[in-house]
Homo-oligomer: A and B are copies of this chain.
């Protein structure tokens, strides 16, 4: 069915790992996929995106949102980051798909306070709502991912590939 076109998965090297980390570090928002608690079907919403000091993706979401209820029921989720430029075919722009497990960060913990400070430095407008009682920081612990660098250029990534170099 695929004719003569080759399998698009290429070998992951340090340049690919660096590009994947850059796409994540530069992201200010992304598309989060969760499982709808009622139907079990996928549900994709836009969320704000930052990172933890360890390099994992981080989001700040409201308990009033459907994705938050979904993550409370099933931690399995996926995050897409890497926005196309305004010109050119958007499918030629690199993007990163991560498979993650969501972990809610409890308020009043040292981890929450560290993440709050780091988040406000990168997302200053969220000071308007970061302390609302319905908002939670959620670390999206990566299990793996893949980088799509445009047609025919795809790379699989492990959780370790996504960590900053030691």
Contacts and interface: CB of A to CB of B under 8 A. Distances in A.
A1 interface: yes
Given A46-B91, A78-B44, A99 B3 contact: no
A97 B45 contact: yes
Contact of A91 (B3, B29, B78, B91): B29
Of A2, A46, A129, A132, the most chain B CB neighbours within 10 A belong to A46
A27 to B, nearest CB: 10
B151 A129 contact: yes
Contacts of A157: none
Contact of A134 (B2, B36, B66, B84): B2
A79 interface: yes
A133 interface: yes
B2 A39 contact: no
A42 B46 contact: no
A159 interface: no
Interface string A119-147: 00000010001001110000000000010
Contacts of A3: 132-134
Contact of A133 (B1, B78, B83, B90): B1
Given A1-B134, A42-B44, A47-B91, 9 more contacts: A5-B64, A5-B134, A33-B44, A34-B42, A41-B76, A41-B78, A45-B97, A46-B80, A86-B86
